[in-house]
Structure 1
Amino acid sequence: MEIVYLLCSILYNLVTTIILSLLLPFQALIRLRLRRSPPETHISLYEGTVYHQRRHPLNHSFQYPVRYALIDLQRAPSTNHLHLSAHQARQITHTNGPVLLLTIPPSVGYQQNPLSVYYCYHVQGTCTSLKKCIAEVTNTPWAERVSFIFNPHSDLVAKALHVSPFMDMLGSWNIKASDPGESLTVSISVHHPDLGNYFTASLIAKRLPSSSESDHAIFFWLMPHKVAVWIYWHAIKLWWKNVAFVQHPRYTVPTYREEALKRDKKLQCCGLSDEGGERGKEHGCCLGETSPKGRWFRWRDAKWPWS
């Protein structure tokens, strides 16, 4: 059933993409002639490269070009229902300053965003500093999502989503993100209790001049589609190389979300480390009343018929 749904979804998106792409030049021409679209000064454009490297059970790496938008949510004219508002992000992170969202906008009816990041700033006196980030991780093709807070300087977060059919749910994500300026970086490495640090994904991007692209619909044309093609293509290559297929945990461990919460609380309590690719050691701690308050997580369920 899932295979049939996937094929129907691909066919539907293909037809929608072709129709809306044919209309795109006319829409851009109308916007230009009528001058109804004011300059979107709340958006900065970034162009860069995503790198993936797998070291177990075999070496497999690739890279692809990407285009991202960095949106000032406070100045944005409207809130995208797919994402948090600036107010919601401040409440979650207990900050009081600007909130920026790094994401790939939808293009011609299609949305594909493996990772979006909220940069939440805190103002104290005359000083404004990046205090917390919120990650939104979405898996393909199920379109499930998990959002969580992390320390942008470096944080270890329990793996809370089945992001790939070629990875199990054990281990944690070591995630860090630089303060976006003329350039930005985001990196995530998977720390596994048995395999060590066996997978790394990173984004390195540079900000483009504000006058480089006036029509954002054209600038991001087919960007989500290209990301999806890379994901599916390299999934086929891993399958061809006989990398073991891991079934979605909802079929094998229905309580995987609760298990992730327990593992994350343990990480915060015990300060586990996977440095050097070795399994982290507990430091005589427990999950009793003295455990720290759990990290904020929020899941979005899969759409039918994945659920």
Structure 2
Amino acid sequence: MELLYLFCSILSTTFTSLVLSLLLPFRHLFRRVSTASSAEDVGNSIFLYQGTVWHERRLPVHHSFRYNVRYAFIDLDRARRHVPSDHLSGEEARRAAQTNGTVFLLTIPPSVGYEQNPLSVYYCYDVEGSTQTLKKCIAEVTNTPWGERVLFSFNPTSDLVAKPLHVSPFMDMLGNWHMQTNDPGDNLRVVISVQHPELGNYFTASLTAKRVTSLKAGDHAQFFWLMPHKVALWIYWNALKLWWKNVLFIQHPRYQTPMYREETLLRDKNLRCCRSFGCNELNNPHVEARKYDAVAETRDNHHFTWRDAKWPWC
């Protein structure tokens, strides 16, 4: 039944995207004749990035791939009319991060009726005198095809978080996510590596991008055309490759461990209490301990918030 739903969803998305793509030139024309002040306002509150997503799995088999990607970096207070639905508002993000400054959302906006966002990040700033400093980030992770979502805060400099979501049927729920990001300017970088108790540091995903400065505000629809579709295509295509390489297929934990969310909270609490973690026989334990001790000393509660799967995955 779930496979039938997935097939029907793909057909529906294909038809909707085709129709809306045909209407895209008319939408572009309408935006061209809109007021210049509106376009200027969008241009000052939405910044565009273009770059590369890279994944590398080193165990139990080696598998890597990269694809080009485009992101929007949105000021949630100044561009409220242009913020994609189903995301936090600026005020909600500030409350969650306990900050008082600007909040930017890094995300792939919906395009021609379809949205695909494995990872969105909220950059939350604190006002310190006349300047703003990046204080906290909030990760918004959505898994495919279930559409479950988890939000949690993390220290952008370096943080270790207990894995809270079944993001791939070829990864178990053990291990932790080591996360880092910079303060986005002309360049943007997000790196996530998996620290597994048996496989070690066996998986890394990264986003590296540069700010696009020559694009006009009215060209955003063309800039993101079929971008979510391409992300979904890469996800499904590489899942097929992993299956072909005989990587173990792992069922969603809700079928075997219904209390996996509670277990995540316990594992994350243990991480904050333990000063030597991420060590295993495949890594140098002294290097790993030094690497994460500073993280352990500065971390606070990650404030996990889950959203259930959508029908019929629930």
Q: CA deviation at 1:35?
A: 4.5
Matched residues in 2 for 1:225 and 1:270: separation?
Answer: 41
Matched residues in 2 for 1:115 and 1:159: separation?
Answer: 14
- The alignment status of 1:89 with 2:93, answered yes or no, reads yes
Matched residues in 2 for 1:35 and 1:19: separation?
Answer: 27
Q: CA deviation at 1:274?
A: 1.6
Opposite residue 20 of structure 1, the aligned amino acid is: L
2:71 to 25, 45, 68: 68
2:296 paired residue number: none
Aligned sequence identity (%): 63
1:104 paired residue number: 108
CA contact (8 A) 1:147 1:299 kept: yes
Deviations for 1:230-280, whole angstroms, at most 9, x for unmatched residues?
Answer: 000000000011111000001010010000000001101113422573688
CA contact (8 A) 1:196 1:278 kept: no
For 2:7, what is the secondary structure of its paired residue? helix
1:131 paired residue number: 135
Q: CA deviation at 1:126?
A: 2.5
CA contact (8 A) 1:193 1:278 kept: no
2:228 paired residue number: 224
- The alignment status of 1:257 with 2:252, answered yes or no, reads no
Matched residues in 1 for 2:88 and 2:179: separation?
Answer: 20
CA contact (8 A) 1:265 1:295 kept: no
1:117 paired residue number: 121
Matched residues in 2 for 1:182 and 1:232: separation?
Answer: 31
Q: CA deviation at 1:33?
A: 3.5
For 2:134, what is the secondary structure of its paired residue? strand
1:7 paired residue number: 7
- TM value normalised by structure 1: 0.92
Q: CA deviation at 1:128?
A: 1.7
Q: CA deviation at 1:210?
A: 4.8
CA contact (8 A) 2:157 2:181 kept: yes
* Alignment: residue pair count: 297
Displaced runs of 4 or more, over 2 A: 33-39, 77-81, 210-214, 275-281, 292-295
Q: CA deviation at 1:182?
A: 0.4
Matched residues in 2 for 1:82 and 1:205: separation?
Answer: 24
- The alignment status of 1:52 with 2:55, answered yes or no, reads yes
For 1:38, what is the secondary structure of its paired residue? helix
Q: CA deviation at 1:124?
A: 1.9
Q: CA deviation at 1:135?
A: 0.2
2:305 paired residue number: 298
Opposite residue 44 of structure 1, the aligned amino acid is: F
Matched residues in 1 for 2:61 and 2:269: separation?
Answer: 31
Judged with a 3 Å threshold, the aligned counterparts in structure 2 of structure 1 residues 277 and 9 are, in CA distance, closer, same or farther, namely: farther
For 2:65, what is the secondary structure of its paired residue? strand
CA contact (8 A) 2:189 2:209 kept: yes
Judged with a 3 Å threshold, the aligned counterparts in structure 2 of structure 1 residues 34 and 122 are, in CA distance, closer, same or farther, namely: closer
- TM value normalised by structure 2: 0.90
2:283 paired residue number: 277
CA contact (8 A) 1:147 1:297 kept: yes
Judged with a 3 Å threshold, the aligned counterparts in structure 2 of structure 1 residues 74 and 33 are, in CA distance, closer, same or farther, namely: closer
CA contact (8 A) 1:165 1:248 kept: yes
CA contact (8 A) 1:42 1:76 kept: yes
Opposite residue 54 of structure 2, the aligned amino acid is: Y
Q: CA deviation at 1:38?
A: 2.5
For 2:33, what is the secondary structure of its paired residue? helix
Deviations for 1:74-101, whole angstroms, at most 9, x for unmatched residues?
Answer: 1113354311111111111111111111
CA contact (8 A) 1:187 1:200 kept: yes
For 2:228, what is the secondary structure of its paired residue? helix
Gaps (5+ residues) in structure 1?
A: 282-291
Q: CA deviation at 1:28?
A: 1.0
Opposite residue 29 of structure 2, the aligned amino acid is: L
Q: CA deviation at 1:212?
A: 5.4
